[in-house]
């Protein structure tokens, strides 16, 4: 059952179509330009996606179901290497204290931040990944959306939302809640797809982030995200392109989603595996994700 939603940034109900994927419509608000899925599944139904299967399935490889991860758990080292760079930036912009990771998944970022001396807490809607973080990594992770958990006001120095806000049913309310629990001048760091990037515009309906329409319901640009952050009481400090460390094998296999025929990528992938280079680490910048650092207004 699909439900109609108004624009989460300006409240209007006036859109034009962007594209349609798997029967779901991606639209752009005529007033403010925010891109989002409408109509969409109810919030409870959206959250049902984040089972163990979400973190480990063949969907990306065989292209049948486009969501989640091939094998998130075995990618821990690469994920932490990508996170380490982001943590260094956070430590330049915030003093070291308490850190909340919203949508912390299996807790890899929290584990890293704790090792660097932060006092950490996570929230997560996936029961599978929350219990992994608790049991395997002995982390304090609360199950639910941030708004449901009613954490203490002004209790965190830094909040992170890595690849999360595009999944959240009510992003402005979520940002207001982040603002409430941050200390004055606290730091918020967000990574999300950049729908305004030239790669996203060029690829259109073939853009991987659009094709994840079962999980991604908002597609921000630098401007629409900055406007929403402003409404929630934040000033944007800096915006960067987000890169990510992959093994060469899976990185080359993913290219098949960006080319019209798979002949070249199949050949390149088989060559990489035959030469034993598939576990070589490469830093991939897909040019379609942004990292945004914002400060709570004092
Ligand atoms: Zn709007």
The Å distance, Cα 221 to ligand 1 centre, comes to: 13
Ligand 1 center–CA 22 separation, angstroms: 24
Whose structure tokens read 């929403």? 228
- Nearest 5°: the CA angle 40, 46, 51 is 155
Cα 2 to ligand 1 centroid, rounded to whole Å: 20
Q: 188 is written with which tokens?
A: 């918020």
pLDDT beyond 80 at 292:
yes
Distance 235 CA to ligand 1 centre (A): 20
- Compute CA distances 254 → 36, 69, 104, 179, 286, whole Å: 25, 12, 24, 36, 11
Asked whether the predicted pLDDT for residue 59 surpasses 60, the reply is no
Return the residue matching tokens 């999300």: 192
Q: Reduced to 3 DSSP states, what percent helix, strand and coil does the chain have, rounded to the nearest 5?
A: 40, 25, 35
Q: What residues are neighbours of ligand 1 (ion), with CB under 5 Å? A: 7, 9-10, 12, 29, 31-32, 34
Predicted pLDDT of residue 160 = 98
Q: What's the 227 CA to ligand 1 centre distance in angstroms?
A: 11
- What is the percent of the chain where pLDDT is above 90? 62
- C-alpha of residue 168 to centroid of ligand 1, in Å: 16
Q: How does residue 60 score in pLDDT terms, banded at 50, 70 and 90?
A: low
Return mean pLDDT, the chain.
89
Average pLDDT over residues 114-131: 96
Q: For residue 123, how far is its CA from the centre of ligand 1 (angstroms)?
A: 28
d(CA 274, CA 234): 50
- In the chain, the percentage of residues whose pLDDT exceeds 70 is 94
Measured at the CA of 43, the angle between CA 175 and CA 159, to 5 degrees, comes to 25
Ligand 1 centroid, distance to 224 Cα (angstroms): 9
Cα 76 to the center of its chain, rounded Å: 16
Instruction: Say which residue, 243 or 191, is predicted with more confidence.
Output: 191
Would you say residue 65 has pLDDT above 70? no
CA 13 to centroid of ligand 1, rounded, Å: 8
202: buried, middle or exposed (CB in 10 Å: 19+, 13-18, 0-12)? Answer: exposed
pLDDT digits (tens, 9 = 90+) for 183-209: 999 999 999 999 999 989 988 888 888
Reported as a pLDDT band with limits 50, 70 and 90, residue 64 is very low
Both tokens of residue 100?
Answer: 């909340």
Distance 201 CA to ligand 1 centre (A): 19
The residue with greater pLDDT, 223 or 268, is 223
CA of 10 to the centre of ligand 1 (A): 4
Higher confidence at residue 125 or residue 253?
A: 125
Strands 182-193 and 289-296: antiparallel
Query: Out of 48-57, 105-114, 270-279, which region has the weakest mean confidence (pLDDT)?
Result: 48-57
- What is residue 261's predicted lDDT score, i.e. its pLDDT? 59
Q: Give the three-class secondary structure for 37.
A: strand
- pLDDT tens-digit series, residues 143-185: 999 999 999 999 999 999 999 999 999 999 999 999 999 999 9
pLDDT for 220 beyond 90: yes
DSSP structural state of residue 94: S
Q: Which residue has the higher pLDDT, 298 or 137?
A: 137
Could you give the residue ranges of the DSSP H alpha helices within the chain? Answer: 43-47, 52-55, 59-62, 76-93, 108-115, 127-137, 146-149, 171-181, 198-203, 208-211, 222-231, 248-254, 263-274
SS3 of residue 16 by DSSP: strand
> Could you tell me the distance, in angstroms and rounded to a whole number, from the CA of residue 28 to the centre of ligand 1?
8
What pLDDT does residue 168 have? 94
Could you count the other beta carbons within 10 Å of the beta carbon of residue 39?
A: 12
State the distance from the centre of ligand 1 to the C-alpha of 15, rounded, in angstroms. Answer: 8
Express each pLDDT in 2-12 by its tens digit. 999 999 999 99
**Cα 17 to middle of ligand 1, angstroms:** 14
Ligand 1 centroid – CA 31 distance (Å): 5
Question: Distance, CA 35 to ligand 1 centroid (Å)?
Answer: 8
């Amino acid at each position: 059952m699909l439900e109609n939603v108004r624009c989460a940034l300006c409240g209007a109900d006036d859109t034009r179509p962007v594209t349609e994927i798997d029967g779901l419509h991606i639209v752009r608000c005529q007033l403010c330009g925010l891109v989002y899925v409408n109509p969409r599944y109810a919030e409870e139904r959206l959250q049902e996606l984040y089972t163990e299967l979400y973190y480990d399935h063949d969907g990306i490889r065989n292209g049948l179901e486009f969501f989640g991860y091939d094998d998130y758990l075995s990618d821990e080292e690469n994920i932490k290497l990508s996170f380490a760079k982001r943590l260094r930036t956070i430590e330049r912009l915030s003093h070291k204290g308490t850190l909340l990771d919203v949508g912390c998944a299996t807790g890899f970022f929290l584990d890293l931040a704790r090792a660097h001396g932060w006092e950490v807490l996570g929230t997560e809607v996936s029961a599978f990944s929350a219990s992994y973080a608790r049991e395997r990594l002995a982390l304090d992770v609360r199950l639910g959306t941030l708004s449901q958990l009613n954490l203490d006001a002004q209790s965190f120095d830094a909040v992170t939302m890595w690849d999360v806000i595009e999944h959240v049913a009510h992003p402005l309310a979520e940002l207001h809640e982040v603002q409430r629990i941050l200390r004055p001048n606290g730091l918020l760091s967000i990574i999300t797809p950049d729908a305004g990037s030239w790669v996203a515009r060029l690829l259109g309906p073939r853009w991987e982030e659009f094709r994840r329409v079962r999980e991604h319901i908002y597609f921000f640009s630098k401007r629409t995200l900055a406007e929403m952050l402003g409404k929630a009481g934040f000033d944007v400090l800096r915006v960067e392109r987000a890169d990510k460390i992959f093994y060469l094998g899976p990185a080359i296999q993913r290219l098949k989603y960006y080319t019209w025929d798979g002949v070249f990528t199949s050949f390149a992938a088989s060559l990489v595996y035959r030469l034993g280079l598939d576990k070589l680490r490469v830093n991939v910048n897909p040019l379609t994700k942004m990292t945004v650092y914002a400060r709570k207004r004092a």
